[in-house]
Amino acid sequence: MFKRNKAKEPKIKTPRFQTFRDAYSVTKSVKPWIGVALVAIFFLVLAAGIGIGTLVGHPYYFGFIALPLALLISLFIFTRIAGAAAYVSIEGQIGAGASVLMAIRKGWTTTPAVAVTRNQDMVHRSVGRAGVVLTGEGTQAVRMMISDERKKVNRLVPGVPVFEVIVGDENGQVPLRKLQKHLAKLPKKISAHQMREVRARLKAVGGLSMPIPKGPMPKGMRVPKR
């Protein structure tokens, strides 16, 4: 048998057009008017540029400048709308919080479903420069699950800061759409070397195999790759 040379195996990358198409499909399923809105914005900006050009006597020149500007503004507005739509499309699904956490590309490593109940309450564990973040999804029972996981983390990596987060829209909870920003705002408490040690120690504990909602998540409008 021949052994595969992993170094020579080409990496498969998702084409940008396909990424954009997937993002548009998700957005359209949540906001069916997105296509008409983008076209209207494009021609509105273009018409404004031509109108200004007509007033100063250079309609073609200003129209030429307004063309790429109209495209950029349309894409910018699309990314903002698509970001909100991506959260709406997975909200309420099992493991939605894990999907959002795993979409963070730099600074954090998330192990989904380190604890799960029959009622689909679950806790995810993320490790970053802030320390360890335990994120819970589900009913009130998830608070006790987080407390148990906190004790486990304190035994494995004593002295490392542990933060607790519960996903939801109630008082004291963090909405799904703000979960990434919430982690980004946490103060850095440990060094990069300590973070790697914490990851290595907690890696042995692992998590459970679970379905993660798929789709483009808001992070510069890129699809998370795991």
pLDDT value at 223 more than 90? no
Pair 188, 131 in one domain: yes
Residues 103 and 67 in one domain: no
- Span 6-21, average pLDDT: 57
Number of domains in the chain: 2
Asked if 64 and 20 sit in the same domain, the reply is yes
The torsion angles phi and psi of 112, rounded to 5 degrees, stand at -75, 150
**pLDDT band at residue 224 using 50, 70 and 90 as cut-offs:** very low
Look at residue 2 and tell me if it is in a domain: no
Phi, psi of 65 (to 5 degrees): -70, -35
Report yes or no on 86 lying in a domain. yes
Long-range interactions of 15-22: CB distance < 8 A, separation 24+: 19/216, 19/221, 19/222, 19/223, 22/215, 22/216, 22/223
Local confidence band at 221 (pLDDT 50, 70, 90 cut-offs): very low
Residue 226 lies in a domain: no
Same domain, 101 and 48: no
Same domain flag for 85 and 24:
yes
Residue 211, domain member (yes or no):
no
Which pTM was predicted?
Answer: 0.68
Helix, strand, or coil (residue 18): helix
Please tell me whether residues 148 and 85 are part of one structural domain: no
What residue numbers bound the domain in which 124 lies? 96-203
Q: Which of 30, 65, 90 is the last residue of a domain?
A: 90
Confidence of residue 160 (pLDDT cuts 50, 70, 90): very high
Q: Could you tell me if residue 222 is inside a domain?
A: no
For the chain, percent of residues with pLDDT exceeding 90: 47
Whether pLDDT at 220 is above 60: no
- Please give the DSSP secondary-structure letter assigned to residue 214: -
Question: Do 56 and 102 fall within a single domain?
Answer: no
Count of Cβ atoms closer than 10 Å to residue 200 Cβ: 11
Domain termination site, one of 90, 120, 144: 90
Q: Does residue 138 belong to any structural domain of this protein?
A: yes
Residue 58 maps to a domain: yes
Residue 87 has pLDDT above 90, yes or no: no
Same domain, 177 and 107: yes
Domain match, 104 and 173 both: yes
Whole-angstrom Cα distance, residue 145 to residue 136?
Answer: 8
Quick one: 197 and 168 in the same domain? yes
Same domain, 41 and 127: no
Question: Are both 171 and 75 inside the same structural domain?
Answer: no
Among 56, 74, 90, the domain-final residue is: 90
Token pair for residue 194?
């300590």
Residue 219 lies in a domain: no
